[in-house]
Amino acid sequence: MQYVKLFFENESYDYFDGNSITMDILGCFLATDVGCYWPLFKEWAIADKTASDTKFNYELGANLTYLTEEDNCIYLKDHYALPENANMRLKMTREQFVQLLDDWQEKVCKHKPREVTIIYDGTQFTIETRG
């Protein structure tokens, strides 16, 4: 089981601890790139990128992370990874990504808990909150 922990301080979430590089990437993505402005990322994830009139393509860059979509999966990668971690990326289905953003909005953005732990059991992401 993998996890990442975030803490709410000074009106924003900060990465605190994780047990894998890929979960660290997720924590930084949610705390720094998403914050509580998740609609852009959700719109990007659900957009039909094969349509000629779409405003989205298969890649999306943010402050700390870089997102790509391949074969209905979303990949998160750290822009500033050390060379030995340059190929590390977190893979999730489009459905998992959208559900994670929805859960983030409902459990975190609406209530601003002091501590957030995101757990990944290999098939599902779960957000637990305290405070």
Q: Which structural domain range is residue 68 located in?
A: 2-130
Q: Which of 2, 41, 22, 5 is nearest to 121 (CA)?
A: 2
- pLDDT tens, 59-113? 787 778 989 998 889 999 988 777 777 788 999 999 999 999 999 999 999 999 9
How many folded domains does the chain comprise?
A: 1
pTM of the entire structure?
0.88
Q: What is the pLDDT of residue 130?
A: 96
Can you give the pLDDT at residue 42? 92
Cα–Cα distance for residue pair 3/21, rounded to 1 Å: 10
User: Looking at residue 60, what is its pLDDT?
Assistant: 81
Residue type, 7: F
| Residue in the block written with tokens 């959700």 | 42
- What is the chain's alpha carbon radius of gyration, rounded to the nearest angstrom? 14
Average pLDDT, the chain: 89
